[in-house]
Structure 1
Amino acid sequence: MEFVDQNPIGKSSRSNPATYLKAYDEIRKLMAAQQASKINGYKASHFSFNIDGGRCEECLGEGTVKVEMQFMADIVLTCESCHGKRFKNDILDVKYKGNNIHDILEMTIEQAIEFFASDATNTEKRIVNKLQPLADVGLGYIKMGQSSSTLSGGESQRVKLASFLAKEKNEPTLFIFDEPTTGLHFNDIKKLLKAFDALIKKGHSLVIVEHNMEIIKSADWVIDLGPEGGDKGGYLVFEGKPEDLVNVDASYTARFLKPYLQ
C-alpha cells in the first residue's frame, strides 16, 4: 500500500523533480560524455550539486546562501560566487547542444522533453521517458531544477504519482490519495484522471479522498460519509456507483454531483 500525501518529495533543498524521477542521473551521464568533459576528465559526479567536485563550494550547490539573523527571519541571498548557477565556471563551460547544466536545469519539464526528444540516442530517450510522466500529471510548467521546498503540497503529490507511473515493473499496489486536485486547473484535473487510469491499467487500485465532482463522477465506487460535519457526521450515507448516488436525498454530495451526470 502506498499513501501518496502532500509532504515534500525530499528532505534536502537540493532535491528536485528531475532528481526524484532519476532523470538527472541520465543528464549527468550525458554531460560527462561531451568532448569538453572527456578532455578535462570530468565524470558524471562533477555535474552533481550534492557532492564535491563540480559544484560551487561557496553555496555547496544550493545557488543561494542563507544569512542567519538573531532576532529576525533568516535572509536568503543569491550566491556571489556562482551567481545562482550552482556550479563552478569550468563545469558550466561544458555544453550539450549549446546549453550548459545550469541552462538545462532552468528549463521547464515541457521544454526539456522537447529539447532532448530532438535526438534519438538511447540516453536522450531514457531522459524523455523519465520526464514524460511529470508532463502527464500536469507538471510540465515546473522547472527541472526547481527545489522541492518550493513545490506546493499538490505539486509534490503529483511528482510522487509521476514516479510511480515511470516505473516499468512493480507489483499491484493499493494507492491512497488525499485530495489530489487541490489548487488544480480544470485542464490539469483531466490530465490527473488520465494518470489515474494509467495506474489502473497497470493493475493498481486507487482510493481517493476527494470533494471534486469530476473525480467523484469518474469513480467506479463511491463511499459518501456524512450527512453533516463534526458529531453529526461520520455515518455511511451511501455506497455504490456515482449514478446511483444522485438519487439519495440525504446526501449533500448528490445535489452537487447531479449536474455532472446529466
Structure 2
Amino acid sequence: MRETVTPGQLFDHGRIRLATRPLHTVHALDVEIPKGRLTAVTGVSGSGKTTLVLESLVPALQTAATGERLPAHVTSVEPSGIERVNVVDASPIGTNVRSTVATYSGVLDELRRTYAALDESKSRGLTASDFSYNTGSLRCPRCEGTGQISLDVQFLPDVDIACPECDGTRYAVAAQDIRRGGPDGLSLPALLGLTVTKALSATEDLPKVGKKLQTLIDLGLGYLTLGEDTPALSGGEAQRLKLATELGRTQSAALFVLDEPSVGLHPLDIRTLLGVIDRLSAKGATVVVIEHDLDMIANADYIVDMGPGGGDAGGTIVATGTPVDIAQSTASVTGRYLAPVSGI
C-alpha cells in the first residue's frame, strides 16, 4: 500500500473545483479534486466517469489555462495553479516502425552524438546526423532504416519480414565497423539490439544516457530492447513509456489523467505503476485515474465515486473521500467491494 494521507492532509496543496450543468445522462456536478494527490474516479460502467473527467474537467482546465471560453456545460472551474493537462492513454506510440524505445526516450540522440565523437567517425567525416537510421548516410539502403521489407504475396496481404540485408538492425554494414571501446566494443546497431538493462551496463560512462535508461528500468521496462518498435508495445507499456519523459520535471502545475491504466496489467505491474505515480506526486503532480481495479482504488488518496448505477440510473456523485470513507459509505456500490481490500 502507498503511504496513507490523512483527511486533514488531503487539501494541503490546494483544491481544483469544477461545477457543471447536466450533460448526457450526467446531472449537474460540483466536485473538488485535491491538488498534488492521487484521485480515483470510480463507479459502474456508464455512471459518468468519462463525462466528469475527459469531457468536463480536462477541457475546462485546458481552456482556463489558455484564456479561452469554458465548455458550454461547465459553469465554473478553479484551476488552483494547474497550467498543463496531460491525458496519458494506452494508445500506441507512433504510427510506424521508425518510432522506437530509443527515439521516444531520447536515448538515440545522445548515442548518435557519442558515436559521432569517436575518432573513427571523425576520420570518415561522419556527424551525428549520419547515425540517424531515418535519414543518415549509415542507414540500410535496402529497407531505408525501417528494419523491415514487405513481401507481396499473391492473393494474400503483404507480409513484413526482417530486412535480409541488415538483419533488422536498420543500419548498413559500415555502421558495424564503428565501435566504442575498440575492436571488441559495441557498434550503435549492436547497442540498439540490447535490452534497456543490458544497455545501462554498456553505457556506464555516459551519465545522460544512463539517467534515461534508469528511468525506464524504474518503470519496469528494462526488458524492452532499445530498438523495439513503439507501435508494437502493449497498452500498459506505452502508457509507462509516455510517463518516462515526465519524471524528471517539476510537475506542480501539471495534471495527469490516466484512463483505466490497470487494464491488462499483472498485479506486479500495477505496483510498478503506483510507484511511477508516487514519483510524479513527489514532483508536485496532480494525478486523476478513471479506475475499476480495486487495488488501484485502495491506493488512491481520494475517491470520487459516481453512480449509483449506469446510464439514467447514474450520473451523480454518490460519495467522496478517502478509501476508508468510501468503504464505510452505505450509498457507494464501490465501497462494498473496497471494504475487504482496504481491510475495513
**TM-score normalized with structure 1 length:** 0.90
Whether the 8 Å CA contact 1:18–1:131 is kept in 2: the answer is no
Q: Which has the higher helix share?
A: 1
Q: CA deviation at 1:70?
A: 6.8
Q: Deviations over 1:173-221 (max 9, x none)?
A: 1111111122222222222112111111212111111122222112111
Q: Deviations over 1:135-187 (max 9, x none)?
A: 22221111111111111122111111111113x45662111111112222222
In 1, the alpha carbon distance for the partners of 2:138 and 2:187 equals 13
Whether the 8 Å CA contact 1:172–1:202 is kept in 2: the answer is no
Which residue is 2:107 aligned to? Answer: 23
Q: Which has the higher contact order (CA 8 A, sep 6+)?
A: 2
Whether the 8 Å CA contact 2:169–2:193 is kept in 1: the answer is no
Give the stretch that moved more between structures: 248-257 or 47-56. Answer: 248-257
In structure 2, the gaps of 5 or more residues are 1-84
Which residue is 1:63 aligned to? Answer: 147
Q: CA deviation at 1:6?
A: 1.5
Q: CA deviation at 1:44?
A: 1.3
> Which SS does the other structure have where 2:214 is aligned?
helix
Matches within 5 A, 1:95-110: 95-97=179-181, 98-110=185-197
Task: Detail structure 1 runs of 4+ shifted over 6 Å in the superposition.
Answer: none
Give the residue type in structure 2 aligned to 1:23.
V
Whether the 8 Å CA contact 1:136–1:192 is kept in 2: the answer is no
Matches within 5 A, 1:124-139: 124-139=206-221
Q: Deviations over 1:70-123 (max 9, x none)?
A: 742221122122222211101111112421112211111122222222x3xxxx
Whether the 8 Å CA contact 1:4–1:176 is kept in 2: the answer is yes
> Which SS does the other structure have where 2:134 is aligned?
coil
In structure 1, the gaps of 5 or more residues are none
Specify which of 277, 300, 308 is matched with residue 196 of structure 1. 277
Give the residue type in structure 2 aligned to 1:159.
L
Q: Deviations over 1:7-57 (max 9, x none)?
A: 222233211122112111111111112232222222112221110311011
Give the stretch that moved more between structures: 184-193 or 196-205. Answer: 184-193
Does structure 1 residue 84 correspond to structure 2 residue 168? Answer: yes
In 1, the alpha carbon distance for the partners of 2:250 and 2:288 equals 21
Which residue is 2:299 aligned to? Answer: 218
Which residue is 2:32 aligned to? Answer: none
Which residue is 2:79 aligned to? Answer: none
Q: How many pairs were matched up?
A: 256
Give the stretch that moved more between structures: 218-227 or 169-178. Answer: 169-178
> Which SS does the other structure have where 2:319 is aligned?
strand
> Which SS does the other structure have where 1:164 is aligned?
coil
Which residue is 1:147 aligned to? Answer: 229
Which residue is 2:244 aligned to? Answer: 162
Does structure 1 residue 227 correspond to structure 2 residue 314? Answer: no
Q: Which has the larger radius of gyration?
A: 2
Cα RMSD for the two superposed structures: 1.9
Whether the 8 Å CA contact 1:94–1:100 is kept in 2: the answer is yes
Does structure 1 residue 75 correspond to structure 2 residue 156? Answer: no
Does structure 1 residue 114 correspond to structure 2 residue 201? Answer: yes
Give the residue type in structure 2 aligned to 1:204.
A
**TM-score normalized with structure 2 length:** 0.70
Give the residue type in structure 1 aligned to 2:235.
G
The share of aligned pairs that are identical, in percent, is 40
In 2, the alpha carbon distance for the partners of 1:227 and 1:68 equals 54
